[in-house]
Amino acid sequence: MTSSETEQTDEQNATPTPGTDGLTDSADDWSADQSTDDRTIIEARDLDVYYGDEQALQSVDVAIPEKRVTAMIGPSGCGKSTFLRSINRMNDLIDAARVEGELLFDGKNVYDDDVDPVALRRKIGMVFQSPNPFPKSIYDNVAYGLEVQGKTDDVDEKVHRALERAALLDEVEDQLDESGLELSGGQQQRLCIARAIAPDPEVLLMDEPASALDPVATSQIEDLIEELAEDYTVVIVTHNMQQAARISDRTAVFLTGGELVEFDDTTKIFENPESQRVEDYITGKFG
Ligand SMILES: Nc1ncnc2c1ncn2[C@@H]1O[C@H](COP(=O)(O)OP(=O)(O)OP(=O)(O)O)[C@@H](O)[C@H]1O
Ligand SMILES: [Mg+2]
């Protein structure tokens, strides 16, 4: 088990609690639709993250476009999960973690004192490496996220829609009352995606969502991610470079020391990167 697997326990047990609709009382128009092509939705400015004395991310600057798939790649321990968790403040749940610099979501620094992390996580959902359905029915797994947020209107319709968007409805329509734990690994991961999108977030963070799955289930998740990017911004960490090349529009390459070395269109990163270190990593000379 890797350190990142053990540290998931806290995250996976983190249950959302009711929050406000915006992140703050005064954030009513926060998610006003300003969509244009490649509008930036998430931006890190000089972001440092430390665990105690150890620095895990160093001066990360990056602008992530809305409704695109952005992949984060790099060798083990380079800070990919740390970066992902800094976006929706999941690092808050790790006592030793400390964040410096800015992480803007829709132009607002999520580390400002007036931001409610629970409300933030409603807008920025997360899917983890190992599928982690609750020991509840398929239906209740998806309804859960709506109920804790007090979204009790049209639950039935929203559950069905989320399962449909997660490309799972056809397979489970007749067994919604059965346990989510009885599904296959790939189905469980799609159930977790349905649970994450049911409250209608804007961003979906995925930390190696297919690494525990077989090739068929992996390919279904990849297809799904590309479809989801029509409606959501997807930020995905993957160890699989072919996967990053297949499904992402942009790729960020982190290298040892927590440095974001290059961020660009995925084709550029894989065909003609600026940095020799990135080229060496991509071509398998190290990492
Ligand atoms: N909860 C934690 N407490 C202390 N140090 C941590 C914690 N989580 C991560 N680290 C350290 O921060 C650095 C970055 O870890 P992180 O898990 O973000 O890397 P990663 O790129 O996601 O690695 P992997 O590919 O193995 O998942 C590593 O040195 C790691 O040991
Ligand atoms: Mg990781």
Structural domain that includes position 228: 40-282
Contact 66, 33 (CB under 8 A): no
- In 10 A of CB 107, how many CB atoms? 10
Q: Which ligand is nearest to the CA of 56?
A: 1
Q: Residue of the nearest CA to atom 6 in ligand 1?
A: 51
Distance from residue 56's CA to the centre of ligand 1 (Å): 7
Distance from residue 23's CA to the centre of ligand 2 (Å): 27
Average pLDDT along the chain: 88
Of ligand 1's listed atoms, the one at least distance from the Cα of 254 is: 21
Please give the Cα distance from 129 to 213 (Å, whole number): 9
Q: Which ligand is nearest to the CA of 253?
A: 1
Q: What is the pLDDT of residue 150?
A: 73
In a domain, 249, yes or no: yes
Confidence of residue 286 (pLDDT cuts 50, 70, 90): low
Distance from residue 79's CA to the centre of ligand 1 (Å): 6
Better-predicted residue by pLDDT, 152 or 231: 231
Contact 111, 45 (CB under 8 A): no
Has residue 11 got a pLDDT over 80? Answer: no
Please give the Cα distance from 18 to 110 (Å, whole number): 18
Distance from residue 220's CA to the centre of ligand 1 (Å): 28
Confidence of residue 187 (pLDDT cuts 50, 70, 90): very high
Of ligand 1's listed atoms, the one at least distance from the Cα of 208 is: 27
Closest CA to 141 of 150, 132, 149: 132
Of ligand 1's listed atoms, the one at least distance from the Cα of 258 is: 14
pLDDT tens, residue by residue, 152-173: 789 999 999 999 999 999 999 9
Confidence of residue 284 (pLDDT cuts 50, 70, 90): confident
pLDDT tens, residue by residue, 98-117: 999 999 999 999 999 999 99
Task: Tell me the two tokens of residue 191.
Answer: 């159930």
Q: What is the pLDDT of residue 23?
A: 65
- In 10 A of CB 142, how many CB atoms? 32
pLDDT tens, residue by residue, 45-73: 999 999 999 999 999 999 999 999 999 99
Percent of the chain, pLDDT > 70?
86
CA 13 to chain centroid? 16
Has residue 195 got a pLDDT over 60? Answer: yes
The gap between the terminal CA atoms of the chain, to the nearest Å, is 19
Confidence of residue 38 (pLDDT cuts 50, 70, 90): confident
In a domain, 14, yes or no: no
Please give the Cα distance from 194 to 131 (Å, whole number): 12
Of ligand 1's listed atoms, the one at least distance from the Cα of 74 is: 21
In a domain, 17, yes or no: no
Q: Which ligand is nearest to the CA of 2?
A: 1
Q: Residue of the nearest CA to atom 5 in ligand 1?
A: 51
Overall pTM > 0.85: yes
* Alpha-helix residue ranges (DSSP H) falling in the chain: 3-6, 8-13, 80-87, 117-123, 138-148, 155-165, 169-172, 185-197, 215-228, 241-247, 266-271, 276-282
Find the mean pLDDT for residues 19-44: 59
User: Can you give the CATH number for the domain in which 81 is found?
Assistant: 3.40.50.300
Find out whether the beta carbon of 110 lies less than 6 Å from any atom of ligand 1. Answer: no
In a domain, 169, yes or no: yes
Better-predicted residue by pLDDT, 27 or 262: 262
DSSP conformation class of 201:
-
Please give the Cα distance from 2 to 278 (Å, whole number): 24
Find out whether the beta carbon of 80 lies less than 6 Å from any atom of ligand 1. Answer: yes
Please give the Cα distance from 94 to 92 (Å, whole number): 5
Contact 198, 142 (CB under 8 A): yes
Find out whether the beta carbon of 55 lies less than 6 Å from any atom of ligand 1. Answer: no
Domain count, the chain: 1
Distance from residue 81's CA to the centre of ligand 2 (Å): 4
pLDDT tens, residue by residue, 256-277: 899 999 999 999 999 999 999 9
Per residue in 247-264, is it b (16+ CB within 10 Å) or e — as a string? Answer: bbbbbbbbbbebbbbbbb
Find the mean pLDDT for residues 228-252: 96
Find the mean pLDDT for residues 228-232: 95
Find out whether the beta carbon of 96 lies less than 6 Å from any atom of ligand 1. Answer: yes
